[in-house]
Structure 1
Amino acid sequence: MRTQLCWVLPALAAGFAVSYQAARPGPWRDEIASWSVATRTVDQIFALGRNIDGVLVPYYLFLHYWIGWFGDSAIAMRVPSIIAMTGTAAVVALLGRRWWGNTAGLLGGLLFAVMPAVSRYGQEIRGYALATLFVALATLLLAIALDRSRWWTWTGYGLCVALAGLSHLLSLMVLAGHVVMVLAAIWRSGRWRALWWVLAVAGAAGVVLPLTRNGLGQQSNQLNWLETATPRALADVAGSVFVAPILGGAVPGLAIAALRRKHATPAAVLWAAVLLPVGLLYAYDQLVAPIFVSRYLLFAVPLLCALAGAGLIALRLPLALAAVVALGAIGLPSQQGMRRAHSSFDFASAADVILDNQAPGDGIIYAPRDGWQATDLGVDYYLRDRAPRDLMLASDEVTNASLWATECADAVKCLGDTKRIWVMAADNIDPVFRATATNQLTYGEKAVLKDYDQLAFWRVSGFTVTLFVRED
């Protein structure tokens, strides 16, 4: 087998899988939030970071400049994640090849390429895919540096650690596993490598912390929708990370098989880089503040796939490839679902209803305005300056350095004599219930609309859109 095919084939497979129909699903609320922040000025992005999403400021700054170069269509904003997941497949293969040979690398890289989680977050306008790439690359460079210590390998390692932290701060939990790798190397060949590691990590921290320090105490603002994780959530984390629960059992199962083969020590330290971050995240959730979200552990997927590739080499190559194909087939329903929609909130269809039926002078009420549905931001993304006048707006998200606008306190005054009023109401998230024409409105808004007739009513996924009119 030619060495190049070991990593080229997985990269090609991942590139195809992740980019296939990547423009089809509309941005969901997290992606809409990324767009909203990234299209602000640099000063406004930093201002927001002092209130919320401080750890995401580096990603927002990157996306800000990316949009300036390539535009803000959904596919344009998803390209960095597509590229990142494509590159990660190659890194998985190289990581497996380094410890277990070309066949293990090929199998691990191909397995990674067909995982639904790879396509899902490779089509996400967030920093998860970038963090996944840099964690995998940092792990590979650490393995190289610990075998042959050179200043450029340590520099590359430190750079990747920094880029991982800048993409998503919690990805730095992998350093707990890297400590185990360093300790194993010390046991084999002396202490100098530990000093190089400390210097590399310190340099990375010096880059990451100044840009993310505002976010370190923002859990109560950013994750107030979370409750403390249960043991059941911990038990289900693999299924959640892999998107499909069956794959969350099968891939780690194959990864365990790597411990029984030659070179079990690399398998053990790679397992440490998977398990220790899970334990750290769960412990923080239990002892400090709720934070246990499975997608924060996405960076474990390439490490587990590299291990699974090592487990698969116990089989003959045709049978091992058949196993990879079978596991990919198991994920096909998830792959198909995520290419239809990334969430149950169909912003595009709701915006189309308004665009196709509005008239000059129309106004709109967004409800609820203080939740995570991003109702107004979604309409802003699709309609821009074609949206009806925001009747209840007192100060917008940019002015507030936030993701939420402030509404007018006096509905009678703000709605005024507007003759046609749209109500775009989003389904409630917690507790879950369906929006009607008025059940998401404030008392004042309901009182004013009693003098209006309901002219038309539309239901799209996640939203109820209603047009009220008042006859003179």
Structure 2
Amino acid sequence: MSTDAVRGGAARAVESVAPVLAASGRPVSGPADGIPPGYGRRWTAVVAGFPALVMLICGLIGIGDRQLWRDEHATWWAATQVSTTDFVRLLSHIDIVFAPYYSYMRLWTAVFGDSAPALRLPSLLWMSVAAALLGLLGRRLYDAPTGLLAGLIFAILPTVSRYAAEARPYAQTLAVTIGATLLLLRALDRPRPRRWVWYALAVVAVGLSHLVALAVLVAHALLVLGEVRGQDRRIVVRRFRPWLLAVVVGLAPVVPVVFQARQQSHQIVWILPPEPLDLLRLPGELFGSRSVAIVLFFVALVGLAVSRWPSLALSAWILVAPALTYLTFDQFQLFYHRYLLFTVPAWVLLAAAGTLWMARLGQAAPVPDGRPVLRPALSVAAGALALALVAGYGLAGHRFVRSDLLEDEHAFRAAAGFVRTHAREGDGIAYSNYRYLRRAFAYELRHDPRPIDVFLDVPPAENGWYHAEECGRPARCLGDVRRIWWVSTRLGPDPLDREPGRIGDLLRDRFVVAQVVEFHKIWVLELVARE
């Protein structure tokens, strides 16, 4: 992402933000005074549409430049490489929590293909929806300027930019979590059975999108409580009863998934136990930049003072999931920054509220009804400054998330491209030391005649897993192949000499090394049969 692109985008953002922020010259209303927030339907298209447009533009920049990494390869495999029967078998062993995502990705790839941009486009659409819904949620909780600013800050965060261009379900989780919160508030505004049904369906969507995101229900409980505080007991019961019923109904379809996911907990054993400092590092990981996290953290602290109940609910949205996953890590192993990405909207809402609240300092006396009037110039200046700081400090993060260095991943694309260029018909290929190599090369070589996978015994699709079983009798499987492209992650001066077991002995006995090419964390060796 170039500096000129960021500067141009920031300039356009300021120009478009100005009219809506200027509208804040009228008295500010909010939940604290009982007046429904927002400035009318005429701003809905801007408050929702402009953040979505900015998100769409940011996400499209370099959407196909970065190679797919190992988790995205899993999405591709589940979406394209297995039959329906094999797909069901796969989910019975692993990734049941991603079943809805993989299911519609199977339909998507059947229509739009499996290129990197095609695989990532659904995430970008989800993230654009999330930005739009966040603008509307900010308007409902605070006012239209706050909603617009929150949506724009969200759209230019490096980590949001990353997951908007990644073939994984985290953007979907963000969208349905924000949407469920907005549907709850709509049901509270005008309680109708139909609206509670929609909210119940949203709870189902949150749970099936990512189980950890269900922690947002604590924030929802506080929002309901905020709506009925000080009311008669009968009113409190009348409001809480449909909410509890909707939550119970919404959780019912999720319970079997929770049970099955518990049986598959072995798939996340790679997550290391957290340390106390990991809690302090979490905001930087959530925003994709430590500098951006520091800026948003301090203005979010100011946002806590804007109004009692929204701030309390947003604080629960932010804190409950990290605290629970940290304290229960030994049982569930779920404390990981990607799993907590759904807390970012609450951070951003508090930061936007705090930014515009600070703009009120030093202004003229309040209007007769006691509500302060926010000067348009101060509003625009505060919003523009916040956007400029996030864009400037986040620029390095945007560049990084568009590079192949993300996740310190192996150079799959470059290594596979080398094999594609030099392999001939009848050549073999073999993989060593890293179980994701076979799947990554299968993706990168999917449109080309592939070398023979000489040591493959049981393909992943038949194995009910993402990984294959290799031949127990390598000499028999090798056959009369005369040249092998040997792909290894055993970095060092002579990877073949350090290959253990019967496969290593067989290759050293029958082949000589014709050339060695090194890529990032991958060696590709051309092995030619001895004469």
TM-score by length of 1: 0.93
Partner residue, 1:345 = 410
Partner residue, 1:119 = 161
TM-superposed deviation, 1:434: 6.5
Structure 2: distance between partners of 1:65 and 1:382: 21
Secondary structure of the residue that 1:450 maps to in structure 2?
A: helix
Letter in 2 for 1:25: R
Secondary structure of the residue that 2:485 maps to in structure 1?
A: strand
Structure 2: distance between partners of 1:122 and 1:436: 40
Q: Does 1:17 align with 2:58?
A: yes
Encode CA deviations 1:53-75: one digit per residue, 9 max, x unaligned.
Answer: 12112211121111112111111
Structure 2: distance between partners of 1:437 and 1:352: 20
Size of the aligned set, in residue pairs, is 461
Partner residue, 2:271 = 226
Question: Paired residue for 1:326, among 374, 378, 389?
Answer: 389
Partner residue, 1:197 = 243
Identity of aligned residues (%): 32
Structure 2: distance between partners of 1:411 and 1:179: 60
Structure 2: distance between partners of 1:83 and 1:436: 46
Question: Paired residue for 1:80, among 119, 122, 131?
Answer: 122
Return the index of the structure with the highest Cα Rg: 2
Whether the 8 Å contact between 2:292 and 2:389 is mirrored in structure 1 is no
Q: Does 1:278 align with 2:322?
A: yes
Question: Paired residue for 2:470, among 388, 403, 407?
Answer: 407
Q: Which region of structure 1 is more displaced relative to structure 2, 315-324 or 351-360?
A: 315-324
Structure 2: distance between partners of 1:288 and 1:440: 38
- Rate the CA distance shift 1:123–1:270 in 2: closer, same or farther, 3 A: same
Whether the 8 Å contact between 1:238 and 1:245 is mirrored in structure 2 is yes
Q: Does 1:453 align with 2:496?
A: no
Q: Which region of structure 1 is more displaced relative to structure 2, 26-35 or 204-213?
A: 204-213
Structure 1: distance between partners of 2:397 and 2:497: 33
Partner residue, 1:356 = 421
Letter in 1 for 2:190: R
Secondary structure of the residue that 1:24 maps to in structure 2?
A: coil
Whether the 8 Å contact between 1:55 and 1:216 is mirrored in structure 2 is no
Gaps of 5+ in 1: 428-432
Partner residue, 1:151 = 193
Partner residue, 1:419 = 482
Encode CA deviations 1:53-104: one digit per residue, 9 max, x unaligned.
Answer: 1211221112111111211111111111101111111111111111221111
Structure 2: distance between partners of 1:191 and 1:5: 37
Letter in 2 for 1:300: T
Secondary structure of the residue that 2:488 maps to in structure 1?
A: strand
TM-superposed deviation, 1:182: 2.7
Partner residue, 2:32 = none
Encode CA deviations 1:410-450: one digit per residue, 9 max, x unaligned.
Answer: 222222332111111136xxxxx669633774421211121
Matches within 5 A, 1:40-439: 40-189=82-231, 190-210=236-256, 213-219=259-265, 221-261=266-306, 263-285=307-329, 287-313=330-356, 314-315=358-359, 316-320=378-382, 321-341=384-404, 342-343=406-407, 344-368=409-433, 371=435, 374-384=436-446, 386-426=449-489, 437-438=495-496
Structure 2: distance between partners of 1:109 and 1:61: 29
Structure 1: distance between partners of 2:215 and 2:525: 47
Structure 2: distance between partners of 1:100 and 1:368: 54
Letter in 2 for 1:290: Q
Secondary structure of the residue that 2:327 maps to in structure 1?
A: helix
TM-superposed deviation, 1:181: 2.3
Letter in 1 for 2:297: P
Q: Does 1:463 align with 2:506?
A: no
Partner residue, 1:430 = none
Gaps of 5+ in 2: 1-19, 21-41, 360-377
Whether the 8 Å contact between 1:350 and 1:465 is mirrored in structure 2 is yes
Whether the 8 Å contact between 1:92 and 1:109 is mirrored in structure 2 is yes
